[in-house]
Structure 1
Amino acid sequence: MLQENKYWSSGKWQVKEGSADEFIDRWREFLTWTGKEHQGLLGARLVRDLRDPNAFVSFASWHDLDSMRAWQASPEFTERLNAASALCEDMQSGGYEVVVDI
């Protein structure tokens, strides 16, 4: 397993009807800012549920746990996360560590 792929952040987003396009734009802005300001970000993806066009899952890979935690602790993180989640009926997020890699 490669160390740079060990730490992940993820979000599960249920977007309000009619807000999907704006949500995608806000999420893109959020993670573009993240990549510029937090060098520990290795990459991020936003995927849409094929059965529900208002349901999304996001993944971001981090170089190390400290980088991910510094991102989550920054005041701008909360502001930008709130801008995207304001368009959602529900949002759940977390930080993860790979324990099995096949």
Structure 2
Amino acid sequence: MTPMFVRIYWGKIYPGAWSSIEQKYRDLMAVETPGLLGRLVSQDVNDAESMFTITLWRDMASVQAWEASPVYAETFSAALKPFIVGSQSVSLCEVKVANIQGLLESFRPAT
């Protein structure tokens, strides 16, 4: 299996901020991010003010370059900062076993 890394961000957001966060992420999806394979922005079903973003990366160097880049700090983080409150965490994981066929199929257009 080709190495792949998953970055999992968790943060608390201000109540009622979801529509703004969704719009910001839609706008930010156009930002070129070398090594990024995909991004999921998720709301916790048991805590509406908990947000998870799950990003899939080609390699560790791409994640580290992204986190250290001015684009990340000045564009991405700056756009989302007004909606984040309280605790946050980031985990970086190396994928050991993967089967994403069902995920890929869910994004294919219906025929």
TM interval, shorter chain, is: 0.7 to 0.9
**Residue equivalent to 1:17:** 15
Runs of 4 or more consecutive aligned structure 1 residues displaced over 4 Å after TM superposition:
none
Q: Return the match for 1:61 from 34, 56, 62.
A: 56
- TM-score w.r.t. structure 2 length? 0.73
Structure 2: runs of 5 or more not aligned: 99-111
1:70 corresponds to 2:65: yes
> Residues of 2 paired with 1:97 and 1:57: CA distance?
15
Which aligned pairs between 1:1-102 and structure 2 lie closer than 5 A?
A: 1-3=1-3, 6-33=4-31, 37-79=32-74, 80-98=76-94, 100-101=96-97
Taking the aligned partners of 2:71 and 2:87, their CA distance within structure 1 comes to 18
- Separation in structure 2 between the aligned mates of residue 63 and residue 69 of structure 1, nearest angstrom: 12
| Greater helix content | 1
Q: What TM-score, normalized by structure 1, do the two folds share?
A: 0.78
Question: CA 1:95–1:31 in 2, change beyond 3 Å: closer, same or farther?
Answer: farther
Question: What 5-or-longer segments of structure 1 have no aligned partner?
Answer: none
Report the CA distance shift for 1:19/1:99 in structure 2 as closer, same or farther (over 3 A). closer
Identical amino acids, percent of aligned pairs: 24
- Secondary structure of the residue aligned to 2:47 is coil
State the structure with more CA Rg: 2
